[in-house]
Amino acid sequence: MGNAHAEVGALQQAANKGLTEGADAVMKVTGKDIYGYCQKDIVAMAKASGLKSLKVYAKEDKTHIPKIYEWRAGMDKFAERKVQ
């Protein structure tokens, strides 16, 4: 976990405490938006931890427009939408 993104680490810690199996999780990301391989890693961890769903609140780096990334069991990647 030493090289993992904070989001993946947070999910791992929750899984280690038995909090993720069949659960709906919500996460807020501050600082930088989540991109490409980090999104894939977060989805992979959500699957591995047994989550039912994951919603991540973030903001675009340049415009600071709020975004929501949503994943549900059975999806291969996040569905992304901007919040106006």
Is residue 8 within 8 Å of residue 42, measured between CB atoms? yes
pLDDT in tens, 32-51: 899 888 999 999 999 999 99
Q: 30: which DSSP letter? A: -
Bridge partners of residue 55, in order along the sequence? 26, 70
d(CA 34, CA 61): 9
CB count, 10 Å around CB of 54? 26
Whether 16 has a pLDDT exceeding 60, the answer reads yes
Q: Average the pLDDT over 57-68 and give the result.
A: 94
Could you tell me the pLDDT band of residue 4, with boundaries at 50, 70 and 90? Answer: low
Q: Which two tokens stand for residue 53?
A: 């769903």
DSSP-derived pairing of the beta strands 24-28 and 53-59: parallel
